[in-house]
């Protein structure tokens, strides 16, 4: 389809849900309004990911539909650039070349102060990633972008300037709505926490690039909010395939995908919560990098 109507319709539904959470529900029950707004913010982040990969229109024509990040934190332009760099599978999990890696260079890890090491180790449990991960990730992300801006990277600077303008517009809308600003900030942080469930174990350290990307055979609410990105190896192999075709593609070739990723598979997000809520899946320093 030249226009992918399921994705376009979902974008409309997403903003409708955001409006309901912002304007209609707060006078009825504020916790419900926060929850609905949070779901809309999660969904918009997933839709941003779809647009980055050329949906619902070919190329970058859909960017205007999702350019203002409802999560308030990640400029769309930086999400686009870093995520496309992440799709170079040969560098997946590399602490320097993969912008979405959660691993540190062992040499950097050894230099960290003990309290900071403890925080990073807590962050490697699922509960820690949900509670601390949005803050830790944002600080690291902004520190790296600030270094690039100071080095003269105008593309990064422009992305942030555009984001600040969009951020002002979103906060103006929040100020006009019955939802208190503090409640919107809670919804935004909670949404980032939910998104950390998706990225918690999307990739692992593995000798071969093809063995680094996960399959989570979940068909519940989280899988929908993540737009089937839980079938992550399928997405990496077919990045231009829209979200609504990924399950059928996976089921038709299940054994092929599981053979490709060396059986890196979980049955559901429930299994992940049971195994890793309070336990670290990985060490913080990259386990395959030299210790010296």
Q: What residue ranges do the domains of the chain occupy?
A: 5-204
Give residue for tokens 């680094």: 212
* pLDDT value for 1: 58
* pLDDT value for 253: 95
* pLDDT value for 215: 98
Alpha-carbon distance of 194 to 197, in angstroms, equals 5
* pLDDT value for 292: 62
What stretches in the chain show pLDDT beneath 50? Answer: none
CA dist 157 → 88, 160, 163 (Å): 24, 5, 10
- Which residues does 15 contact at the CB level (< 8 Å), separation at least 6? 40, 44
Pairs from 271-279 (Cβ < 8 Å, separation ≥ 24): 272/126, 272/197, 272/200, 272/201, 272/216, 273/126, 276/125, 276/126, 276/200, 276/201, 277/125, 277/126, 277/127, 278/125, 278/126, 278/127, 279/125
* pLDDT value for 56: 94
Query: Are the beta carbons of 231 and 250 closer than 8 angstroms?
Result: yes
Largest distance between two CA atoms of the chain: 59
Written as six digits, the tokens of 135 are 């803050």
| pTM tops 0.85, yes or no | yes
* pLDDT value for 99: 93
Query: Are the beta carbons of 20 and 173 closer than 8 angstroms?
Result: no
* pLDDT value for 286: 96
């Amino acid at each position: 389809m030249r226009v992918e109507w399921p994705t376009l319709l979902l974008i409309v539904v997403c903003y409708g849900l955001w409006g309901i959470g912002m304007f209609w529900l707060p006078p009825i029950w504020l916790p419900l309004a926060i929850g609905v707004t949070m779901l809309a913010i999660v969904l918009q982040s997933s839709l941003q990911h779809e647009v980055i990969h050329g949906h619902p229109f070919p190329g970058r024509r859909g960017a205007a539909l999702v350019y203002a990040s409802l999560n308030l934190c990640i400029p769309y332009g930086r999400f686009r650039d870093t995520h496309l760099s992440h799709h170079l599978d040969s560098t997946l999990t590399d602490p320097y070349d993969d912008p979405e890696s959660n691993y540190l260079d062992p040499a950097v890890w050894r230099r960290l102060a003990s309290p900071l090491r403890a925080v990073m180790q807590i962050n490697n449990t699922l509960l820690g990633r949900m509670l601390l991960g949005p803050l830790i990730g944002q600080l690291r992300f902004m520190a790296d972008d600030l270094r690039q801006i100071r080095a003269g990277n105008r593309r990064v600077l422009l992305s942030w300037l555009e984001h600040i303008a969009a951020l002002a517009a979103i906060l103006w809308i929040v100020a006009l709505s019955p939802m208190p600003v503090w409640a919107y900030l809670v919804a935004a942080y909670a949404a980032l926490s939910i998104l950390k469930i998706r990225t918690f174990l999307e990739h692992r350290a593995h000798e071969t690039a093809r063995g680094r990307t996960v399959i989570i055979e979940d068909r519940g609410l989280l899988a929908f909010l993540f737009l089937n990105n839980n079938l992550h190896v399928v997405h990496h192999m077919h990045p231009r395939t829209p979200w609504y075709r990924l399950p059928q593609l996976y089921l038709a070739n299940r054994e092929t995908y599981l053979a490709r990723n060396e059986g890196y598979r979980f049955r559901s997000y429930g299994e992940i919560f049971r195994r890793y809520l309070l336990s670290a899946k990985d060490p913080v320093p990259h386990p395959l990098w030299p210790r010296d």
